[in-house]
């Protein structure tokens, strides 16, 4: 089985590679997950771009402080899923290999550093519906399968 891919890859488009690392953070015995709502209204799993020189795990730790103000204990690695998309905000086309993890534990340590996003705790099935990217939906579904 290859890496799952979402979105439409067109041969006529040059995509900018943007590597991302994301994590599923849950509460209430895994019945709720947290989603980040961007200013444009789109919902995503917490996480984001892996910056130059960072590991996926380092990116997650940085993003958790920025987006949620939490420290996480990174547990299972769910896998890689790729996404092809056009960002209207940035007027660019992206190839986004995403690396997905699960938080075993988390602790609130401060207020989120980023103030532009909204944080939503939602039931898992609602979260899957709300998520914008197919790769993020894939990760939550895979996590659900592993919990059974």
**Listed residue (123, 130, 79) closest to 101, CA to CA:** 79
Half-sphere exposure of 18 (CA within 13 A, CB side): 18
Whole-model pTM: value is: 0.95
- Which tokens belong to 9? 């890859």
Distance CA 24, CA 94 (A): 22
Give Cα separations from 95 to 13, 54, 67, 78, 99 (angstroms).
10, 19, 23, 19, 13
What structural domains and CATH numbers belong to the chain? 15-147 (3.90.79.10)
At which residue do the structure tokens 């609130």 appear?
Answer: 108
pLDDT one-digit tens code per residue, 76-116: 999 999 999 998 878 999 999 999 999 999 999 999 999 99
Is the pLDDT at 66 greater than 70? The verdict is yes
């Amino acid at each position: 089985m290859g890496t799952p891919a979402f979105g439409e890859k067109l041969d006529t488009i040059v995509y900018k590679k943007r590597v991302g690392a994301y994590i599923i953070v849950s509460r209430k015995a895994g019945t709720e997950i947290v989603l980040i709502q961007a200013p444009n209204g789109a919902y995503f799993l917490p996480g984001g771009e892996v910056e130059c020189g960072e590991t996926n795990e380092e990116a997650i730790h940085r993003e958790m402080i920025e987006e949620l103000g939490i420290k996480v204990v990174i547990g299972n690695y769910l896998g890689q899923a790729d996404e092809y998309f056009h960002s209207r905000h940035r007027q660019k086309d992206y190839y986004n290999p995403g690396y997905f993890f699960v938080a075993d534990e988390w602790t609130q340590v401060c207020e989120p550093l980023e103030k532009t996003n909204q944080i939503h705790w939602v039931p898992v099935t609602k979260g899957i519906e709300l998520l914008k990217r197919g790769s993020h939906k894939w990760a939550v579904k895979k996590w659900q399968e592993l919990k059974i």
